[in-house]
């Protein structure tokens, strides 16, 4: 049975695999999400680059989803010379979830609105994404090293709004599903996947030694997170590809 001895996981995988191959899977899964977010955004940008409503917010939400994979994978690849880059990426993958679903929700509202709507401008979207990066930097400078007090509080502060916003998004999607099937369905899939990824990372992190000290929770939470990285990446790619069909239907 997996357990903690000090800060080390014992019997993390069968046959005492000291090469930590499951950590490689974790890294690759996160990088897959980053790549999928870039590809998905590029496809949508190609198809709707002239749009000022909805699509910019949707693309920004997809970028923020990529932040989850970026922080969760690259933090393990950095050398331990300075704690600042590692801690910045660590907090980045926590805040990426709520920012992603918020921007997707705003994009959905803009896309399905039947009245005049003031969309989030490109400047505001860039500012939101920039603040999403700067907040983890600020927390990292305060923590200097892994801080369970900041960690536990920040996990809850980011996870709870993610769930609430996603529920609001799904309620909004339900009322617009028939009229805007393709876009609404894909936004919903991405938002739900990003939320489940955020929750699984919360569960895995809460199992760490300085929080609940539960190795089973730690390992299983991160294993589910690997799966959800891949699922979220898949939803981003499908969303991007589906807009190709949307464009063809608009011109047919």
Q: What is the pTM of this model?
A: 0.87
Give pLDDT, residue 18: 43
SS3 content of the chain, % helix, strand, coil (to 5): 75, 0, 20
Sign of CA dihedral 63, 69, 71, 75: negative
Domain topology for 14-251: Rhopdopsin 7-helix transmembrane proteins (1.20.1070)
Closest by CA position to 215, among listed 207, 226, 223: 207
* Ranges of residues in the chain whose predicted pLDDT is under 70: 1-22, 79-82, 143-149, 209-211, 249-252
What's the pLDDT score for residue 244? 86
Torsion of the alpha carbons at 92, 94, 95 and 101, rounded to the nearest 10:
130
pLDDT tens-digit readout, 168-190: 999 999 988 878 888 999 999 99
Q: What would the two tokens of residue 195 be?
A: 């939320």
Report how far residue 180's alpha carbon sits from residue 112's, in angstroms, rounded to the nearest whole number. 7
Which residues are CB-neighbours of 200 under 8 A, at least 6 positions away? 221, 222, 224, 225, 227, 228
Q: What are the tens digits of pLDDT across the range 185-234?
A: 999 999 999 999 999 988 888 877 566 777 788 888 888 999 999 999 99
Region of 79 on the Ramachandran plot (φ > 0 left; ψ -120 to 50 alpha; else beta): beta
**Per-domain residue ranges of the chain:** 14-251
CA distance 106 to 108: 5
Q: Which of 4, 12, 34 is nearest to 233 (CA)?
A: 34
């Amino acid at each position: 049975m997996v357990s903690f001895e000090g800060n080390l996981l014992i019997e993390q995988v069968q046959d005492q695999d000291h090469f930590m191959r499951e950590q490689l899977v974790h890294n690759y899964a996160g990088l897959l999400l980053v790549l999928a977010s870039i590809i998905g955004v590029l496809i949508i940008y190609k198809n709707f680059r002239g749009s000022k409503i909805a699509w910019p917010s949707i693309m920004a939400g997809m970028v923020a989803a990529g932040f989850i994979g970026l922080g969760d994978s690259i933090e393990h690849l950095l050398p331990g010379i300075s704690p600042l880059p590692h801690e910045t990426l660590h907090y980045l993958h926590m805040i990426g979830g709520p920012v992603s679903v918020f921007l997707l929700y705003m994009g959905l509202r803009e896309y399905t609105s039947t009245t005049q709507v003031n969309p989030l401008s490109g400047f505001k979207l860039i500012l939101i994404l920039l603040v999403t990066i700067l907040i983890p930097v600020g927390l990292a400078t305060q923590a200097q090293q892994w801080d369970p007090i900041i960690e536990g509080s920040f996990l809850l502060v980011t996870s709870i709004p993610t769930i609430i916003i996603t529920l609001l998004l799904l309620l909004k999607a339900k009322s617009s599903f028939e009229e805007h099937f393709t876009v609404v369905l894909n936004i919903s899939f991405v938002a739900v996947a990003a939320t489940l990824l955020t929750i699984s990372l919360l569960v895995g992190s809460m199992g760490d030694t300085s929080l609940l000290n539960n190795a089973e929770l730690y390992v299983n939470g991160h294993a589910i997170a690997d799966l959800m990285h891949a699922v979220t990446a898949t939803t981003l790619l499908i969303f991007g590809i589906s807009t190709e069909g949307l464009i063809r239907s608009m011109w047919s």
